[in-house]
Amino acid sequence: METRNPGAAPKASPEAALARNLVENMVRLARLQRLYNPNNETIKKQREAFDQHVRRYFARSDELVLRITPTEIISHGEPVYESTDRHQSYAFRMFKDGIRWITISRDVTPGELERFLSILGAETSAGGSYEDLSTLLWKAELRGITYMCVKGFKEIGAGAVDVTSSARAHEEVHGRAQIPTSAPYRRGT
């Protein structure tokens, strides 16, 4: 009979474990790229590790679907990245810039992944102007990476906020945003 520690987290599915490793390495590489020259040995080693995690993940799956919340990145129904520090959190940064879903397909090229990591790790404000991540992703024309973002927030009474999705409108205008092909995952269901 299996005994469970009541305080222990349930074991992640194999797909979620692979997604967690890939996302952790993606965040680590994006962070290092902000600090070091691209030819730095640390960057080269982390890029190799990231490439290995990408190959491992896509050996089992056709796409990596990431749902973005203010404190988590969720894949396969499980958090694969968590941070409550709004100043350092990549989840919060994407969420505040309107990104709610990112889908990376097996067809993504190394160049697209490199541009995506550069965008994720880039400072978005320069000289007083600000370009949000959804704008930077749109400008990058990443065919193997799609995303869904929101148009805005509207007050619906008593402090509640309704998020108005603009994925279809964004797709009509820009042709690149899309709702993930996989069913949305919810934590705890």
Q: Distance between CA 23 and CA 149 in Å, rounded?
A: 19
Over residues 47-67, the pLDDT tens digits come to 999 999 999 999 999 999 999
Cα three-residue angle 156-68-80, rounded to 5 degrees: 145
Which residues is 147 bridged to in the sheet?
A: 102
Q: Is the pTM of this model over 0.85?
A: no
Amino acid at the residue 95:
F
pLDDT tens for 168-187 read 433 433 344 444 444 443 33
Burial class (CB in 10 A: 0-12, 13-18, 19+), 148: buried
* Cα gap 150→185, rounded to integer Å: 18
Q: How confident is the model at residue 33 (pLDDT cuts 50, 70, 90)?
A: confident
Strands ordered across the beta sheet of 161-165: 78-82, 72-75, 63-68, 99-105, 145-155, 161-165
Look at residue 78 in the predicted model and tell me its pLDDT: 95
Give the model confidence (pLDDT) of 84-94 as tens digits.
999 889 999 99
